[in-house]
Amino acid sequence: MKRVRCPKCDSFITFDETKYEDGQQLVFQCENCKKQFAVRLGVSKLRATQKEEVLDEEENAGEQGSIVVIENCFHFKQVIPLHMGDNVIGRKVQGTNINAPIETVDPSIDTKHCIIRVQRNKRGDLQYILRDAPSNTGTFYMNEILKDQDRIRLAEGDIITIGATTLILRIAKDVNED
């Protein structure tokens, strides 16, 4: 199965590429916005499709670590780099201003669902602190729902659940550690 992205609303359309030949042009109509657009089948010289990409969790970790979005029926695996300060995590929707968007069609993820704050402690070590945004369906840390006032310090491999989506924290290899 392959997927194409609507140029107007960024939603995905999935289709069976085995029914068509390379070089054939296909016309799609987006279910969400009704935009019609065409694509030509073939192997991209610029980039493999996201489904075929092998995501290296370390390669995209960045200096402050990352969150790994586990693949499920709503989306493909993603690695989202974290930065210093508040990382606002939520569903990517065109026009939403968040800095850690997840490309998903999971309706139980808010556009602004939870926040992971990356900061340095007094010794200079990186800290990761999780809180709910607040969201409609809640944020779960290791299967426990967070209250609005909860602030949870995260460690490598901790599991966060938002909606039907599982995230795993990958902390940075801190330059202060020897």
Domain edges within the chain? 2-40, 66-170
Looking at domain 66-170, its CATH class is: mainly beta
What percent of the chain stands above pLDDT 90?
53
Whether the per-residue pLDDT at 58 is higher than 60: the answer is no
pLDDT at 177 over 50: no
Per the rule left: phi > 0, alpha: psi between -120 and 50, beta: everything else, 74 is: alpha
- Residue 61 has a pLDDT of 52
Which pLDDT value is given to residue 18?
Answer: 84
| 176: pLDDT strictly greater than 80 | no
Q: What is the predicted pLDDT for the residue at 62?
A: 60
| CA angle 132–150–124, rounded 5-degree value | 95
174 — pLDDT class (breaks 50, 70, 90): low
Please count the other Cβ atoms lying within 10 Å of the Cβ belonging to residue 64. Answer: 20
Q: Which residues contact 143 (CB under 8 A, 6 or more apart)?
A: 159, 161
Which pLDDT score is estimated for 60?
45
User: Mean pLDDT of all residues in the chain?
Assistant: 84
Please write the tens of the pLDDT for every residue from 6-27: 877 878 888 888 888 877 888 8
Q: Is beta strand 100-102 parallel, antiparallel or unpaired with respect to 85-91?
A: parallel
The model carries a pTM of: 0.66
Contact 100, 85 (CB under 8 A): no
The more confident residue out of 145 and 60 is 145
Average pLDDT on 125-145 reads: 95
